[in-house]
A = this chain, B = another copy of it.
């Protein structure tokens, strides 16, 4: 697996991506289809983790001449309706667990799953362990096509957060914005109900000073409309608020589609409208098209939306490859260590 016949510019060995082929609403049909599509990218090896027979059957549909892909057998899957921790204990050979263990064992560089996010998080935390200062993985990234370079952290994994947790999210988001999105010196903000330091709930007010004392490029509070005003590159909130926002946006995108189809019917054909709406849907469902990293775990894990079709699967795999290429994991570990060193002492740069 370490053959160097397809070198990348910055790597001598291919990137080994483990895909949970059983995860997602349309697995393994769409996961395998998406995996094969992603194999067009050079310098990548794919490990399809799943029930061997059905995964191989899907794989046999394609011409894989010259492509580096193999099946790693696992047994069963963990569903959205299962308790992640119970399932982790009861199904030790489930696809998400076997795949994550490949990362832990150094046999894969990154793991991609479209299955239960809860199961991915619990498995990653238990198998790979957490970075310093974090208790649970967090999820984040751009979530609005209308603001594709604005990172929101956390999107739903940590519903009650202490100020120090929010600061860790900010540090992780800042590295992601810098390295993955190419934003120089990312502006970090707390999501609140007014821009003044005195505005916000207790959590935000308690966090403000901690953020000011950090070495991050903290620009203060922003408000709900500032996702669209280019005031900040990384917007930090707890997972309760973040999850409500992301689901609200998804719902609004669908509802607007219905609303606009009535408004626009006099002006355009159904085909033309479909085209406009498809693009609109993407602007309100960004995480579904590219997946996002599980931040804070000691290993690279990318989660995608369960309703992803083949193109969403391929998008998540591409995100995984870029994540590894850019060495994001190491940068994030360094950044958290920096935050931890500065601590509450306020030794800003």
Contact = CB atoms under 8 A, between A and B. Distances in A.
Contact of A252 (B146, B160, B260, B272): B146
A292 to B, nearest CB: 17
A265 to B, nearest CB: 11
Contacts of A201: 159-160, 238, 240
Contacts of A264: 264, 267, 276
Given A228-B254, A244-B245, 13 more contacts: A159-B193, A159-B201, A193-B243, A200-B240, A201-B238, A224-B246, A224-B251, A245-B248, A249-B252, A252-B252, A256-B256, A259-B280, A267-B272
A267 to B, nearest CB: 5
A239 interface: yes
A250 B224 contact: yes
A228 B251 contact: yes
Interface string A193-208: 1000000111010000
A247 interface: yes
Contacts of A267: 264, 267-268, 272
A156 B193 contact: yes
Contacts of A248: 224-225, 227, 245, 248
A263 interface: yes
Nearest to A226: B251
A273 to B, nearest CB: 9
Contacts of A252: 146, 227-228, 249, 252
Contacts of A255: 146-147, 228
Given A193-B156, A267-B267, A244 B224 contact: yes
Interface residues of A, number: 48
A67 interface: no
Contacts of A200: 159, 240
A241 interface: yes
A13 to B, nearest CB: 40
A191 interface: yes
Which secondary structure dominates where chain A touches chain B?
helix
A234 to B, nearest CB: 16
A75 interface: no
A244 B146 contact: no
A162 interface: no
A211 to B, nearest CB: 17
A279 interface: yes
14 contacts: A146-B255, A146-B259, A156-B193, A191-B244, A193-B239, A201-B240, A223-B243, A224-B245, A224-B246, A224-B250, A228-B254, A245-B245, A245-B248, A259-B283
